Homo-oligomer: A and B are copies of this chain.
């Protein structure tokens, strides 16, 4: 594959991965002008919509987009900003909250496996099984040995998905601690955003450094050529959307969706 501007942000081999080498405020996919960035995003959306239509018609391959990031990092915003233009017929967004008692009664990959995309479908996971090596580790619900076991189980699980026809697009929406502060303050200041405010977010914020360590280790342990991670500088919402859309454009360019051939005999049918 020729080098692309995405290369520095695509982690296909986690060895030696250092999250602190990435600047959350960078805007490598931005033109520097918000208006032309938005025009570019509109253009990309139209293209992605066409590609998704053909991908759905194929009814064979699957696409799974995983969005991870700290509170306020823009997971919901990415769904709205990038995926809203897609045909809902072939798109399914799945939010993973704290597991229910039904879900806790199984292994942690159970509810995730149940939601993987079907042939022709694009599924977007808003949070995912990675929470089970992030919040679970930060709060000490699992020890180091269990965390390593889960990294392996996740690699095996994702390998199964890839080997059975799923393309994985794993995105870490990378924001700075300062940006989170201003977003939380904005939520508090705006009554219309109060519904998104969870007092627990403030408690989690106190674990910021532990979360960064957990993300770094999780990405390092699960970034593979078949299931790479993407670090998305996400302090700028416009840049974040643009970059995720560019990743999808590049993904479809590799997948080359094509309409399936017509069933034989169709040309002999007559409408009476």
Residue numbers of A with Cβ under 8 A of B are 59, 62, 102, 104-110, 113-114, 116, 118-121, 149, 153, 156-157, 160-161, 163-166
Contacts and interface: CB of A to CB of B under 8 A. Distances in A.
Contacts of A157: 160
A113 B153 CA distance: 14
A120 B104 CA distance: 12
Contacts of A163: 107, 149, 153
A160 B156 contact: yes
A53 B110 CA distance: 25
A121 to B, nearest CB: 8
| 8 closest residue pairs by CB, A with B | A107-B164, A105-B118, A105-B119, A113-B113, A156-B156, A114-B114, A153-B160, A106-B118
Contact of A113 (B59, B114, B149): B114
A104 B59 CA distance: 11
A37 to B, nearest CB: 36
Contact of A120 (B105, B160, B165): B105
A246 B157 CA distance: 34
A145 to B, nearest CB: 11
Nearest to A109: B160
A164 B121 CA distance: 29
Contacts of A121: 105
Contacts of A104: 119
Given A107-B163, A110-B114, A113-B114, 8 more contacts: A59-B105, A105-B119, A105-B120, A106-B119, A107-B164, A108-B164, A110-B116, A156-B156
Contacts of A102: 118
Nearest to A149: B163
